[in-house]
Amino acid sequence: MSDLKERIKTESLRLGFSHCGMTRNDSLEKLRPFYSAFLKRNGHAGMGYLESNFERRMHPELVLEGARSVIALLVNYFPPATIPEQDNFILAKYAYGSDYHRVVKDRLNEFVHFMKLTCGSHQAKAFVDSGAILEKAWAQKCGVGWQGKNTLIINKSSGSFFFIGIILTDLELEPDAPETDHCGACNHCATACPTGALDIPYQLDIPRCISYQTIENREEIPAELKSKLNDRIYGCDICQDVCPYNRFASPHQIPAFLPPEPVMNFRKKEWIALTEPDFNRIFADSPIKRSGYQRLKRAMSPRICFQVKPGQA
């Protein structure tokens, strides 16, 4: 098992993953009280995908019959250069380039193919921000990071600008040690959050989160929060930008995660003048396309309301 583990980790680096860890599949029953209470108080702000398939989230063998091991892989998206923020609207760094679901899933599928060539016939399923998988819980159990006070996975040597890929497999793999918490007394993320979404450590108040308001919220942004967006129109990196561990973040080397050239040159006047046809063309392969033109425009001014029409959400 030790030799197989090293071969898997070596291949993960070759495929461009930054970190790879693994653990034995066991239930996440100890998390049931927290998630049950979270859903009961509507902490998920009506996002149905967080509520569906609850039992499958607790027990991966219901997702892949015979699952014995879980592999967690991190893909770096920290940009080589940030889009200038002066006189500009701000995008979360994860949304700079192509839709990460496709980019990361392609790499995960390559990884699964390698495992089948190496280990022979076996069952495996890959997930990236999809399916009935508690990615962050498994990432911590696999030892690639811990879920910090900002609720994101933080790697002690590399920071938090990562996408998480999860593979369930029926292979028996030697487990890594789970990662422990290293946030300590630091409270930078909660202090910096302008809306108070992180006032309770390790818990995100989703309706107060700028990312939720600019991406997921289909209704009008509450006036109290809209005045605190700080020019963010898609997502928010404030809690990551102030995290001390992100001083160790290194630029990714994935061309698909680079922003389209026009966006690097955009400033506020270009964003305000952006037409829907140009939006559809520039962001055709971007995660921003999912939210749509109207919701992007809605966040651009605390004084202007853009009603999201049926079918445009």
Structural domain tally of the chain? 1
pLDDT for 308 equals: 40
pLDDT for 66 equals: 95
Q: Which residue has the higher pLDDT, 214 or 52?
A: 214
Local confidence band at 250 (pLDDT 50, 70, 90 cut-offs)? very high
pLDDT for 46 equals: 77
Local confidence band at 302 (pLDDT 50, 70, 90 cut-offs)? low
Contact yes or no for 238/194 (Cβ under 8 A): yes
**Which of 225-259 are b and which e, b meaning 16 or more Cβ less than 10 Å from the residue's Cβ?**
bbebbebbbbbbbbbbebbebbeebeebebebbbb
In a domain, 262, yes or no: yes
Whole-prediction pTM value?
A: 0.92
In a domain, 129, yes or no: yes
pLDDT for 40 equals: 87
Average per-residue pLDDT for the chain: 92
In a domain, 145, yes or no: yes
Determine the structural domain holding residue 76 and report its residue range: 1-303
Local confidence band at 236 (pLDDT 50, 70, 90 cut-offs)? very high
pLDDT for 279 equals: 97
- List pLDDT tens digits, range 13-36: 999 999 999 999 988 999 999 989
Among 138, 136, 149, 135, which residue's Cα sits nearest to residue 245? 149
Pairing of strands 19-24, 69-76: antiparallel
Q: Which residue has the higher pLDDT, 50 or 260?
A: 260
Local confidence band at 307 (pLDDT 50, 70, 90 cut-offs)? very low
Count of all residues that appear for the chain in the document:
313
**Which of 30-53 are b and which e, b meaning 16 or more Cβ less than 10 Å from the residue's Cβ?**
eeeeebeebeeeebbeeeeebeee
pLDDT for 303 equals: 45
Among 159, 151, 158, which residue's Cα sits nearest to residue 189? 151
pLDDT for 1 equals: 66
In a domain, 225, yes or no: yes
pLDDT for 211 equals: 96
Contact yes or no for 170/123 (Cβ under 8 A): yes
In a domain, 100, yes or no: yes
In a domain, 311, yes or no: no
In a domain, 309, yes or no: no
pLDDT surpasses 50 at 305: no
pLDDT surpasses 70 at 311: no
**Where are the alpha helices (H) located in 43-99, listed in sequence order?**
54-58
pLDDT for 309 equals: 43
C-alpha triplet 33, 37, 42: angle, nearest 5°? 150
Pairing of strands 162-169, 124-127: antiparallel
In a domain, 310, yes or no: no
State the catalytic residues: 129
